[in-house]
Structure 1
Amino acid sequence: MIQKIEVLVADVDMTLSSKGSPLPKITIQALKELHDKNVKIGLATGREITEMEKTKGIFWNLGFEFDFVIGMNGGMIYDRNLNKSFTMDMLSVKEMKEVLTFLMPIILEKKVSVNVEGNQLRNVMNISDDLLDMAKRKNILLIDKTGDIDGFCEKPVYKFLFRTDPETTQLIRDQVEEQYKGKYQTIKTFPGTIELMYSGFSKGRGLEMYCEWNQIHLEDTIAFGDNENDNSLLLTSGWGVCLKDGNPNTKALADDITDYDCLDGGVGHYIFDHILFFSCILYYSCTPI
Structure 2
Amino acid sequence: MYRLIATDIDDTLLAPDGSFPEVNRLALARLHRQGVAVVLSSGRATVSMRPFAEKIGPADDTEYLISFNGARVSTVKSDTVLFQHLLSQEAVRIVMEYARKESLLVHGYRDESFLTEQDHPRSARYARDTGMNCLQTPDMAADLPLGSPKLLVIGDPRELPRHRDELIKRSRGLFDGVFSKPEYLEIMAPGVSKGKALHELAGHLKIPLEETIALGDSLNDLEMIATAGLGIAVANARDELKGVADLVLAQTASEGAVAEVARRFWSITA
TM-score, length-normalised on structure 1? 0.80
- Contact 2:4–2:38 (CA<8 Å) still a contact in 1? yes
Runs of 4+ in 1 over 6 A off after TM superposition: none
* Aligned-residue offset at 1:80: 5.9
* Aligned-residue offset at 1:175: 0.9
Task: Kindly provide the amino acid, as one letter, of the partner of residue 245 in structure 2.
Answer: A
Aligned-pair identity in percent equals 20
Secondary structure (helix, strand or coil) at the match of 1:29 reads helix
For 1:17, the equivalent position in structure 2 comes to 14
- Contact 1:164–1:193 (CA<8 Å) still a contact in 2? yes
Deviation readout 1:228-285 (Å, 9 max, x if unpaired)? 111100000011111111211111111112212112222112321x1123xx8xxxxx
1-structure distance, mates of 2:156, 2:94: 23
Which residue among 230, 242, 247 is the counterpart of 1:251?
242
- Contact 1:189–1:227 (CA<8 Å) still a contact in 2? yes
Return the structure number with greater relative CO, CA threshold 8 A, min gap 6.
2
Secondary structure (helix, strand or coil) at the match of 1:229 reads helix
Determine whether 1:104 maps to 2:94: no
- 1:61-210 superposed matches below 5 A: 61-63=56-58, 65=60, 67-79=63-75, 85-92=82-89, 94-106=90-102, 108=103, 112-119=104-111, 120-125=113-118, 127-129=120-122, 131-140=123-132, 142=134, 148=138, 150=139, 153-155=142-144, 156-210=147-201
1-structure distance, mates of 2:255, 2:186: 28
User: Structure 1's 197 and 210: CA in aligned 2 closer, same or farther, altered over 3 A?
Assistant: same
The answer to which of 236-245 and 118-127 deviates more is 118-127
User: Structure 1's 35 and 21: CA in aligned 2 closer, same or farther, altered over 3 A?
Assistant: same
1-structure distance, mates of 2:182, 2:74: 27
User: Structure 1's 141 and 6: CA in aligned 2 closer, same or farther, altered over 3 A?
Assistant: closer
- Contact 1:27–1:265 (CA<8 Å) still a contact in 2? yes
Which residue among 8, 14, 25 is the counterpart of 1:28?
25
Task: Kindly provide the amino acid, as one letter, of the partner of residue 46 in structure 2.
Answer: I
User: Structure 1's 200 and 141: CA in aligned 2 closer, same or farther, altered over 3 A?
Assistant: closer
Secondary structure (helix, strand or coil) at the match of 1:167 reads coil
- Contact 1:91–1:159 (CA<8 Å) still a contact in 2? no
For 1:265, the equivalent position in structure 2 comes to 256
Task: Kindly provide the amino acid, as one letter, of the partner of residue 68 in structure 1.
Answer: Y
User: Structure 1's 208 and 142: CA in aligned 2 closer, same or farther, altered over 3 A?
Assistant: closer
* Aligned-residue offset at 1:61: 4.8
- Contact 1:163–1:194 (CA<8 Å) still a contact in 2? yes
User: Structure 1's 133 and 102: CA in aligned 2 closer, same or farther, altered over 3 A?
Assistant: closer
User: Structure 1's 179 and 259: CA in aligned 2 closer, same or farther, altered over 3 A?
Assistant: same
1-structure distance, mates of 2:131, 2:68: 21
Deviation readout 1:81-106 (Å, 9 max, x if unpaired)? 996622223431x4423322134332
Deviation readout 1:15-55 (Å, 9 max, x if unpaired)? 111478442111122222222322111111122323x5345
For 1:275, the equivalent position in structure 2 comes to 265
- Contact 1:90–1:157 (CA<8 Å) still a contact in 2? yes
- Contact 1:224–1:241 (CA<8 Å) still a contact in 2? yes
User: Structure 1's 142 and 76: CA in aligned 2 closer, same or farther, altered over 3 A?
Assistant: closer
Secondary structure (helix, strand or coil) at the match of 2:159 reads helix
For 1:284, the equivalent position in structure 2 comes to none
Q: Number of residues paired by the alignment?
A: 265
Determine whether 1:57 maps to 2:49: no
For 1:283, the equivalent position in structure 2 comes to none
Task: Kindly provide the amino acid, as one letter, of the partner of residue 235 in structure 2.
Answer: K
2-structure distance, mates of 1:36, 1:136: 32
